[in-house]
Chains A and B, each alone.
Chain A
Amino acid sequence: MTAPLPGAFPALELLIVLPLAASLLAILLGGRLAPRIVLLLGPAMLVVTAVLAFQIQTQGPVRVEIGGWEAPLGIALIGDGLAGVFLVLTAIVMTAVGVFAQKPFGSEGAETTESYTFWPLYFAMWAALNAVFCGGDLFNLYVALELLTLTAVAMVAYGSTRAALRYLLFALAGSLAYLMGIVLLYSATGTLDIELLARQDTIEATRMVSGALMTAGLLAKTALFPLHGWLPPAHGSAPAPASALLSSLVIKASFVIIVRIWFDVMPDVAGTVFVQLLSILGAGAVLYGSLLALRQTRLKMIIAYSTVAQLGYLFFIFPLAGGAAAETPWAAGAWSGGMFHALAHGLAKAAMFLAAGLVIEALGHDRIDDIKGIARALPLTMFAFGLAAVSLMGLPPSGGFLAKYLMLTAALADGQIGLALVMLAGGLLAAAYLFRPVNRALAGDYVPEVAVVTYWRQLIPLGLALLSVALGIISEPPYDLLQVGRSKVAVEGIDD
């Protein structure tokens, strides 16, 4: 690992400090000015992440020991390719949502409760997300994850207290399991630093139990089937910008920690049974989530159940990564495919929730039966929805297709026909449940009367959807970035 050059641009530190400062500033400034902060911070964060991505790409992984204290005493931040792509994703989605939220959580002259409370949460969430993606210490990740949960639950509470409480209970149970895992791990190894832990190979049993506990806790927060019960009501009832953040970024945070645990910290103790179990749960999520999405009557609930389903694919990487590397040296492999899926889904899902938000603003509801003809009133919005749908279904040309192709290739080369079939079935089911609202929106030949939705706000979901499609075409830069500091295990497989 290379330390940053003396005097190098402190991108990683800024990525956490800036949004935290913005959060405090938002409280100080109050609801009238707080919404405007994002107009400055968003571009700034985009620039900082771009610089960081450039640093990682050119100089290799960055590691920062905060305050100069070395692990195990100090806390480290890791800037490798995995962190890099998710930090960029966060900056893009956060900025887009922040600009979008100028209306629902803005203040036109006077301060409102929403405009006062939302923005501190929003910026704190940003800081927490960044801290999770570049955290190099398991306890530090715990703290960041709890801050994330806190902001996420509070955002859900705008829509439904009940959904927020249910979410919180799941999250609390998850936190405790994760904390317990940390305690055991520390007692066995005396450190919680990811890099130091990776070099430990003592006491397999303790590490296995603690790994299982941490994973179980994180699965509850990621809402992997069958721990997904809290997700649809929470994501379905939160305000659209909040739903976009939750579905696109928040659940990815806990997923990234799972990836770090099993690919970086303790790949040696994960047995075949364990990784297969994860993929079976993933397959359950794909099928069950899709089938339930088919039965929904509200647009946002369809999107929320679709998140449950799409999350399932991410867990296919555990058995697939590396397994087929020997047979398919020409292909990028399942690990990269899984990460591309997370990115494409993040962009597409944010676009979809924002589009749904515009539909709700225009009509006052999102009942599928009554959105007839909305495509003629909001053509750009529905076009964005359609594009995002293309990516979610895994159709070319889109990031979703690229991801699916890589994972399918790995699955078939590895002889995991079952997983391959689930992926194909998931794509078809996604087509089925996303087709319903699109078809309904196109039906009829009149232009329905709707509330005014400005042109530029429709461009936000469109931009995100275009990015998720473009990810499948301009895929080399993110792919190259992902490879920097990629765990050897991601190439060679967990269970060998």
Chain B
Amino acid sequence: MSGAGLDSATLFALTGAILIGIGVYGFIVHAHLLRRILAFNVIGSGIFLMFGALGFRGAGNGTDPVPQALIITGIVVALSLTALAVALLVKLAEEEGGATLPEEQPGRGEAE
């Protein structure tokens, strides 16, 4: 971890960790796909927050610019994937009238 852990950086990192925890919980617990997609975004935000906090090099040294660049890229990636997921979800809802996936049946696969 970065040298002299100032309180704010640690706070951000902890908040990030908590967000990740909440997201993972949501991802596992909810069957509704929209909630799962949201959970994915919550986890993503947590990771980015943590990443940013870990880039802090201590007072007076400024921050490492690399994590910031990476976070911005990561947010774009997450955004586009979310968009795709939501688009597919809408299509699924139109086709089947629901937004959950049935449990897998190993062996027979989907009958479509």
Could you say which residues of chain A place their CB within 8 Å of the CB of B110? 160, 162-163, 233, 236-237
Decide: A161 and B92 in contact? CB cutoff 8 A.
yes
Docked-complex contact B107 and A164, CB < 8 angstroms: no
Question: What would be 17 A-B contacts, judged by CB atoms less than 8 Å apart?
Answer: A146-B80, A153-B88, A157-B88, A157-B91, A161-B91, A161-B92, A166-B104, A168-B84, A169-B33, A173-B40, A179-B47, A183-B54, A186-B54, A187-B2, A187-B55, A233-B110, A236-B109
Q: State A396–B27 Cα separation when bound (angstroms).
A: 47
Alpha-carbon separation in the docked complex, A26 to B85 (Å): 23
| B88 adjacent to A165 (CB under 8 Å) | yes
**In the complex, what's the smallest C-beta–C-beta distance from A159 to chain B, in angstroms?**
7
Known: A161-B91, A165-B85. A183 touches B47 (CB 8 A): yes
Beta-carbon contact of A165 and B92 below 8 Å: yes
Contact A179 B74 (CB under 8 A): yes
Q: Determine which residue in A163, A173, A295, A298 has the highest number of CB atoms from chain B within 10 A of its CB, and name it.
A: A173
**B51-103: which residues lie under 8 A (CB-CB) from chain A?**
51, 54-55, 64, 66-67, 70, 73-74, 77, 80-81, 84-85, 88-89, 91-92, 95-96, 101
Whether B96 and A162, one on each chain, are in contact in the complex, defined by CB atoms closer than 8 angstroms, is yes
A160 and B50 in contact, given A176-B43, A229-B104 (Cβ under 8 angstroms): no
Query: Are the C-beta atoms of A296 and B74 separated by less than 8 Å?
Result: no
Given A168-B85, A176-B43: 14 more A-B contacts, CB < 8 Å: A72-B66, A142-B74, A157-B88, A161-B91, A162-B110, A166-B104, A168-B81, A168-B88, A173-B27, A183-B51, A186-B66, A186-B67, A232-B109, A295-B107
Closest to A191 in B: B66
Interface bits A164-198 vs B (CB < 8 Å: 1, else 0): 11101100110110011001001100100000000
The DSSP consensus for interface residues of chain A is: helix
Q: Considering the complex of A and B, which 8 residue pairs feature the smallest CB-CB distances, nearest first?
A: A187-B54, A233-B110, A146-B77, A183-B51, A161-B92, A161-B91, A172-B40, A232-B109
Q: Which residues of B contact A176 (CB under 8 A)?
A: 40, 43-44, 47
Alpha-carbon gap, A176 to B48, bound state (A): 11
Provide the bound-state CA to CA distance between A180 and B77, in Å: 15
A186→B81 CA distance, assembly (Å): 24
Q: By the criterion of a CB under 8 Å from any partner CB, how many residues of chain A are at the interface?
A: 43
A165 contacts across to B, CB distance below 8 A: 33, 85, 88-89, 92, 101
Smallest beta-carbon distance A27→chain B, Å = 15
Interface size on B, residues (CB 8 A): 40
Alpha-carbon gap, A180 to B40, bound state (A): 13
Contact (Cβ within 8 A) B36 A169 = yes
How distant is the Cα of A139 from the Cα of B55 in the complex, in angstroms?
15
A255 nearest CB across to chain B (Å)? 21
Inter-chain CA distance A180–B20, complex, in Å, is 10
Question: Roughly how many angstroms separate A229 CA and B107 CA in the complex, as a whole number?
Answer: 10
With most chain A CB atoms within 10 A of its CB, the pick from B44, B54, B89, B107 is: B107
What separation, in Å, do the CA atoms of A192 and B105 have in the docked complex?
A: 40
Please, how many angstroms separate the alpha-carbon atoms of A186 and B95 in the complex? 43
- B1 in the interface (beta carbon within 8 A): yes
A422 at interface by CB-CB < 8 Å? no
Q: Is B112 an interface residue (CB 8 A)?
A: yes
Within 8 A of A (CB), among B1-20: 1-2, 20
A146 contact from B2, B70, B81, B89, Cβ within 8 A: B81
Q: Which residue of the partner chain, among A157, A162, A190, A295, contacts B101 with CB atoms under 8 Å?
A: A162
Contact among B36, B47, B89, B92 for A180, CB-based, below 8 A: B47
Give A417 to B73 CA distance when docked, in angstroms.
47
Shortest Cβ gap from B95 to chain A (Å): 6
**Contact residue among A150, A233, A301 (Cβ-Cβ distance under 8 Å from B84):** A150
> Given A187-B54, A295-B107, are A143 and B73 neighbors across the interface (CB < 8 Å)?
yes
A159 and B88 within 8 A (CB): no
Question: Which of A168, A296, A298, A301 has the largest number of chain B CB atoms within 10 A?
Answer: A168
Contact B51 A186 (CB under 8 A): yes
Distance A72 CA – B70 CA, assembled complex (angstroms) = 12
A298 to B27 CA separation, bound complex (whole angstroms): 33
**Interchain CA distance A142-B44 in the complex, whole Å:** 14
Name the CB-closest residue of A to B73.
Answer: A143
Contacts of B106 in A (CB 8 A): 229, 292
Contact of A154 with B by CB under 8 A: yes
Q: Is the CB of B112 within 8 A of A237?
A: yes
- Set of chain B residues within 8 Å of A172, measured between Cβ atoms: 37, 40, 81, 85
